[in-house]
Amino acid sequence: QCLSLTLLPNKLDNVISLITLKIRRFSSLAPLLNELDNLTSLSSFSFIRN
């Protein structure tokens, strides 16, 4: 059972990476993700500046 517990995080990682890959496949969602990235980086930048 210990072995299955150590394998679980790896399987979770694989599932997450698969999901992100499928999300990136949608070209319509890509600009949206970029916008989200820009928003978060902008907000963190202004937060650091203040």
For residues 33 and 26, give the distance between their C-alpha atoms in angstroms, rounded to a whole number.
Answer: 11
In sequence order, the 6+-apart residues with CB closer than 8 A to the CB of 30 are: 24
pLDDT digits (tens, 9 = 90+) for 13-45: 888 888 888 877 766 667 777 888 887 777 666
> What contacts 24, CB < 8 A, 6 or more positions away?
30, 33
CB of 24 within 8 A of CB of 30? yes
Model pTM? 0.35
Determine the pLDDT at residue 4.
63
Q: CB of 23 within 8 A of CB of 33? A: yes
